[in-house]
Amino acid sequence: MTWLKPISIDEHAQSSYAAYFEELEARLQDPATVRPELVRDTLALALHGRPYSVLLADSPLLALNLDSRNITFEAEYYMATDQERFQRVKPLLWLWKSMDLSPMGQNPVFGIPLRRVLAGFIFNSVGRDFKCWQNVEFSVGYNMDVGNDVVVHRNVLLDDIGGIELHDNASVSDYVNIYSHTHSVLEGPDVTLRRTVIGKGARLTYHSTILAGSVVSDDAMLATHALLRGDIPPHGIAMGLPARVTRMKIRDAQADEAAGYDVDSAHLVRVPDRKANPQFPDPTPNQTRLPDGDAALEARAPRMEAALRKG
């Protein structure tokens, strides 16, 4: 049972919002729609109350920055970005980001349905009732796979360049960072893409960080400010820097196992890592060692590595 209560707004406002989303979705489904023009026209009216042509004549620099063809995203500079796919979603990411900074984007009864519509045309896949709050950042957007009833809260970074999966009922709290790429410690341009998977009903709590290739299994939880650089088993609670499993939720394990897990880190078939830069085609070898003469650290190293492998 949800702990949230329903809230209603003025019927005229609600019907106006619903009509707007229906029209926007229809236009995005129309192959004849030129997405950059749709977005610039939408932003001119929504943010400045004037048609784009009028705004262009009055304030050309302002108007030009509403057109996604005149701006760049960080992802466009990456070798790993599929430029053709990104150009399809770029205008919609610009609309998402720009509207988040407006009163409409800050209004949950308008902003959340707007993002839900846009997600259907940006993400690789998205299920029902996706709920995304304001100021969420993506790397490319098109490498997101999102299940049913997923919630993403404010100021989250979803670095999906290598792929992110958020399975049914996953919850991502405010200021969480989820990564799917990693850099060599010796050669910054040597980038490895690793798919990061968040299981069914998993919870990532405030300000936690999930590094590339990590797997958070079904019903698992990552604690506040924790840094995950491995896996969490089903029902596990991981805490700390780096995170390790310190508690297990009390669940009916037999019933869960009988029903089957969507994501169990022990049995998940992993998507192979990919290299983002053709100058570094081979797997990155181990490039660090323990400090010289640190006998205590040397003695602890095997236990530390074993703990990290367990999550």
Q: Which domains does the chain have, with CATH numbers?
A: 14-122 (no CATH), 125-311 (2.160.10.10)
**Under the phi-then-psi rule, with left for phi > 0, alpha for psi from -120 to 50, and beta for the rest, what region is 172?**
beta
pLDDT exceeding 70 applies to what percent of the chain?
Answer: 92
Q: Model confidence over 242-262: pLDDT tens digits?
A: 999 999 999 986 777 767 899
Distance CA 32, CA 44 (A): 21
Paired residues of 164 in beta bridges: 144, 196
Nearest to 202 by CA among 175, 242, 234: 234
pLDDT-based confidence at 47, cuts 50/70/90? Answer: very high
Q: What share of the chain is helix, strand, coil (3-state, %, to 5)?
A: 35, 15, 45
DSSP count for the chain of H helices, then E strands: 9, 21
DSSP state, residue 286: P
User: What torsion, rounded to 10 degrees, do the Cα atoms 42, 44, 48, 54 define?
Assistant: -140
- Which residues, including other chains, have CB under 8 Å from residue 189's CB and lie 6 or more apart? 277, 279, 280
Distance CA 43, CA 52 (A): 8
The predicted structure's pLDDT at residue 43? 98
- Do β-strands 274-275 and 191-193 pair in parallel, antiparallel, or remain unpaired? antiparallel
Distance CA 165, CA 41 (A): 33
3-state secondary structure of 165: strand
The predicted structure's pLDDT at residue 3? 76
Q: Which residue in this structure is represented by tokens 């897990």?
A: 261
The predicted structure's pLDDT at residue 301? 58
Distance CA 175, CA 177 (A): 6
The predicted structure's pLDDT at residue 89? 98
Q: Which residue in this structure is represented by tokens 């949950």?
A: 108
Given a contact cutoff of 8 angstroms between Cβ atoms, the answer to whether 191 and 171 are in contact is no
Q: Model confidence over 13-46: pLDDT tens digits?
A: 999 999 999 999 999 999 999 999 999 999 999 9
Which phi and psi angles does 280 have, rounded to 5°? -130, 75
pLDDT at 302 over 90: no
CA 292 to chain CA centroid, Å, is 40
Measured at the alpha carbon of residue 80, what is the angle toward residues 77 and 83, in degrees to the nearest 5?
65
